[in-house]
Amino acid sequence: MKRLLFATIALIFLAGTTYWILGQKPEITPEMINKIKKVSRFKELLPKAEAGNAEAQFQIAKMYESGDGVKKDPQQTLNWLIKAADQGHAKARYTLGWMYANGITVRQDYFLAAKYYRLAATFNNDPEAQYRMGELHFNGRGVENDYGKAIEYYQRAAKQGHPAAQYILSSMYEEGWGIKRDLVMSYVWLKLAERKSDEAKAINKKFDPQRKMVNLREKMNNFQVEQAEKQLLSMKIR
């Protein structure tokens, strides 16, 4: 670590010396300054991470992942994420779940993805992890294919304002997947998803609440819409 810091400083010194010999002013570029700051940041965080600070461990993992202040190292990224996750760090747990689910720098493993998503969903009440656990149960990846459990996770995420979870819940109520068909509740969750339509589409481009609402309204009568609007007023959702 010290070698990297000294090498960076030496590079700047060498550049300055060269300019001095040529009779020119040394130019310290913003890129050089930024690199020194990143190396210094890594040097500052490493002792904290080694001492067991979970947030520092997570930040060190991200720096190894991006190559900011240190050479990229996927194995070190994984090692530090696991250390942070073992201490209950929500983002570390979610990140590990995402990596294993998508095979990013590790071999794809839905069982391990479920392990880390479940930890973040259960103990950290993380809505994104709850949504991903819903996905795993919906598709039967790494866990049993269980619409009932999928709904439980989707509901927990949806109640925290997760737009994609709200969209999926609407679909499940509309189609009766794992739950009694209920167009009123389908409307309620879809209306909530509409508030964050762009976020829903960013998660999955097929999740278009406005377009879906047009189709849903065609299946409903005025009384059902009125009941749904009343239900919305009584719900305290982000």
Whether residue 16 is predicted with pLDDT greater than 50 in this model: the reply is: no
Confidence band, pLDDT 50/70/90 cuts, at residue 9: very low
- pLDDT at position 25 is 57
- For 156, the token pair is 């927990």
CA distances from 98 to 11, 92, 94, 118 (A): 38, 10, 6, 12
- pLDDT at position 238 is 67
pLDDT in tens, 17-46: 444 444 455 678 888 888 888 899 999 999
Average pLDDT over the chain, rounded to an integer: 91
- Domain boundaries, given as residue ranges, for the chain: 161-238
Work out the average pLDDT over 199-221.
Answer: 98
Instruction: Spell 192-211 as b/e; 16+ CB within 10 A means b.
Output: bbbebbeebbebeeebbbee
- pLDDT at position 5 is 46
Whether residue 236 is predicted with pLDDT greater than 90 in this model: the reply is: no
Please list, in sequence order, all residues whose beta carbon lies within 8 angstroms of the beta carbon of residue 180, skipping any fewer than 6 positions away: none
- For 198, the token pair is 């762009």
- pLDDT at position 11 is 47
Q: Count H helices and E strands in the chain, helices first.
A: 13, 0
Dihedral angle, C-alpha 49, 50, 51, 54, nearest 10 °: 30
Whether residue 106 is predicted with pLDDT greater than 90 in this model: the reply is: yes
Whether residue 232 is predicted with pLDDT greater than 70 in this model: the reply is: yes
Beta carbons within 10 angstroms of residue 155's beta carbon: 18
Work out the average pLDDT over 204-230.
Answer: 97
Give the span between the Cα atoms of 112 and 147, in whole angstroms: 20
75 exposure class (CB count in 10 Å sphere: 0-12, 13-18, 19+): exposed
Residue carrying the six token digits 């309204």:
217
- pLDDT at position 33 is 80
- pLDDT at position 19 is 45
Whether residue 132 is predicted with pLDDT greater than 60 in this model: the reply is: yes
Confidence band, pLDDT 50/70/90 cuts, at residue 187: very high
- pLDDT at position 20 is 41
Residue 87 and residue 57 in contact, taking contact as beta carbons nearer than 8 Å: yes
Confidence band, pLDDT 50/70/90 cuts, at residue 73: very high
- For 35, the token pair is 């690199």
Give the percent of the chain with pLDDT over 70: 89
Work out the average pLDDT over 204-226.
Answer: 98
Whether residue 75 is predicted with pLDDT greater than 50 in this model: the reply is: yes
Q: What is the DSSP secondary structure assignment for residue 235, as one 8-state letter?
A: -
- pLDDT at position 1 is 52
Residue 200 and residue 167 in contact, taking contact as beta carbons nearer than 8 Å: yes
Residue 72 and residue 81 in contact, taking contact as beta carbons nearer than 8 Å: no
Whether residue 201 is predicted with pLDDT greater than 70 in this model: the reply is: yes
